[in-house]
Structure formats: C-alpha cells, structure tokens
A and B are shown apart, each in its own frame.
Chain A
C-alpha cells in the first residue's frame, strides 16, 4: 500500500537555526512529489513539485530535494513567519497521498 511518512511531527527552531524536514514514501510509479505550507485555519498553499530523483527546487529560504525514497525540505536561517505546518504529498497513478505534516515553530 502507498504510504507517506513525515518526520518529525513537530519541530521548534530558533530564528536563524537551519534544519530539514523529511518525507519518506513507498509508492509504485511515482509521478510527482509535492510540498505544501498550511497556516492555521487555512487551506494548504502549494510550494514545490519534484518529479525525479536528484531534482531540487528553491524558494526564498526553502529548498526541496528528492531521492528515490524520500524528500527533504531544507529551511535555511528560518524566520518566525516560516512557522506553519508543512505537508508532503505523492502522486502515483491516479492517487494522491498526503503525509500527516510537520508542524514548524520558529522562535524569535
């Protein structure tokens, strides 16, 4: 069965303290891996799509990378406004599966 696991469940960082979030997956026939940001009380906001191992995408302080079994969302020198829940999703065939998310808190 297709599975998507995100770790850690929660992460607390000091402002400027870089770290990485992990998304591991077991799917057959990966067609795309997606990262979203979700603020409390709002819908997920699209960040990145990765299609093949070795691919990287960057946006401001965020960089997403992809291997054959996992993806990382690297956050460089985070700011308090980066606090949110980050969701990973994988699409295989006609099914989209989401992970449970990592709740990131960045303290000033």
Chain B
C-alpha cells in the first residue's frame, strides 16, 4: 500500500462543467502522475509532476490542467468537461525519476460526463 487516495471515487457531471480530481499521498514521494484508462487503449499519461509547482505534459494532455502546491497533493482539472473525457482516472507515484522506479497506483476515479 503506497498510501495513495483519490477523491472522489465516482463522479457524474454534465458537459461543459469544470471538474477537479484530487490525488493525495502520505509518503512525500517526489513524482506523481495522472493517467486515464479506456477500453482498448490501456493507461495513457495525462500529466506528471516532478516536484511542487513542477509539472509537464503527457501523451494526452489536451483539455486537462494540473496543479501541485503541496508535495502530498496533485490535482487534475477538466476546465470544461466533454463526453470524450468519460474514463477511469488513476493517480500514481514513483520514488524517483519517471520510469526508473516502478509506479504505485491509487484506486481510481470513475468519471462520467453526460
């Protein structure tokens, strides 16, 4: 158990509304990541953070923004949700640089955009 929690665990929202998902870790790891998981696509990286206020884009960052004001919290924001953003979102942490060490995942947030 890597001490990762995600909130909310489930959310239904309407097209055009803003949505923020939260990832919280208890072990002060430097690297945090947001992925989305869709059938047939596997996990795809949205954004990642390598420290407080240090973030970078991943493979599918369009329509998403992130913020990290504290080591333990990494927020993912959909400024104006669209139906294509219906997915399961996972947060992950790693102990060191991206991919050099294994990643540990949170329980996920199921987001439905109607």
Residues on A lying within 8 angstroms of B by beta carbon are 4, 31-32, 34, 36, 41-46, 49, 87, 89, 91-92, 94-101
Partner of B90 from A43, A46, A91, A101 at Cβ < 8 Å: A43
Q: Which residues of B contact A46 (CB under 8 A)?
A: 102-104
Residue numbers in A under 8 Å from B40 (CB-CB): 100
Whole-angstrom distance from the CB of A42 to the nearest CB of chain B? Answer: 6
Interface residues of B in 68-99 (CB under 8 A from A): 90, 92, 98-99
Q: A87 is contacted by which of B42, B101, B106, B108 (Cβ under 8 Å)?
A: B42
Closest to B106 in A: A43
Assess whether B43 is in contact with A87, with CB atoms less than 8 Å apart: yes
Known: A89-B43, A101-B42. A43 touches B99 (CB 8 A): no
| Interface residues, chain B, with chain A CB atoms under 8 Å away | 4, 33, 35, 40-45, 58-59, 90, 92, 98-108
Residue of A whose beta carbon sits closest to that of B33:
A96
Task: Establish whether residues A96 and B45, one from each chain, have CB atoms under 8 Å apart when the complex forms.
Answer: yes
Bound CA–CA A43/B23 (angstroms): 13
- Given A95-B59, A96-B103, check contact A44 B98 (CB 8 Å): no
Distance to closest chain B CB from A51 (angstroms) = 10
**Cβ–Cβ contact B102 & A34, under 8 A:** yes
| A43 contact set on B, CB distance < 8 A | 4, 90, 92, 105-108
6 cross-chain pairs, A with B, having the tightest CB-CB distances, nearest first: A91-B99, A43-B105, A98-B42, A98-B43, A100-B42, A46-B102
Interface pair B99/A32, CB less than 8 Å apart: yes
A94 and B41 form a contact (CB under 8 A): no
Residue of A nearest to B108 (CB): A43
CA distance A32 to B41 in the complex (A): 20
> In the bound complex, do residue B42 and residue A44 qualify as a contact, i.e. CB atoms below 8 Å apart?
no
Contact of B107 among A4, A42, A92, A98 (CB under 8 A): A42
Which residue of B98, B104, B106 contacts A96 across the interface (Cβ within 8 Å)?
B98
28 cross-chain CB contacts under 8 A: A4-B42, A31-B99, A32-B99, A32-B100, A34-B99, A34-B102, A34-B103, A41-B108, A42-B108, A43-B105, A43-B106, A44-B43, A44-B105, A45-B105, A46-B104, A49-B102, A89-B43, A91-B99, A91-B100, A92-B99, A94-B99, A95-B99, A96-B103, A97-B59, A98-B42, A100-B40, A100-B41, A101-B42
